[in-house]
Structure 1
Amino acid sequence: MPHQPHYTSLATQVFSQYLDQAIDLETLILKLREIELQLLSDEEEDDDEVSTKQVWFRFFDGDAMQTTISDIENELSDSSHPSSKILLRGIAFGLANNELQVHFG
């Protein structure tokens, strides 16, 4: 599942806005879906087949998860749930250490 470094800065900006409470969860998901649509569009230009690939994120080195946009939406929708807090810490840690990766596959 190839790493998409040219989308990392955009994703970093979007996640930072969310952590800074400049955007809400709905806007975060919308912006992440826009990144995914752009990647799908780029791929379809190179290949005539319809893709079933999706964007997923690795927030820090050693992060074994392949966190999708749907995972983010589900986990962050209930701020009192422990997995929500864990995900937020992972995002913040990854951004602070410049380790966020965007993957598409």
Structure 2
Amino acid sequence: MKKFNKLLRLMSLAADLTLDVIVLISGVWVALIPAGLFIFFHTRAWRDTDATLPLFERFNETIRATFWENIAVLALVIVLRNITYWVIKYYKEKESE
């Protein structure tokens, strides 16, 4: 019986660690992928703007040039957040069964 209890505790610990790893990976998705795309789009647009413009004007042109890319990144953030929420909810329900 003691061996069975130890096995149950070990399985519970493994399930907790699995959930933690999934939450960590999902958090990295939500944070790094959209941030990387945002930086990529803005640096590309920054290089294409006129370097003789004042800083504020150049930044304004960059924002205008990347408007639709920013909308796409925002949509990606929302989709990844929903996927993360679903995965965490699924594993918590599976763990409680």
TM over 0.5: no
Bigger strand share = 1
Greater gyration radius: 2
**TM-score bracket, shorter-length normalisation:** 0.3 to 0.5
TM-score by length of 2: 0.39
TM-score computed with the length of structure 1 as normaliser: 0.37
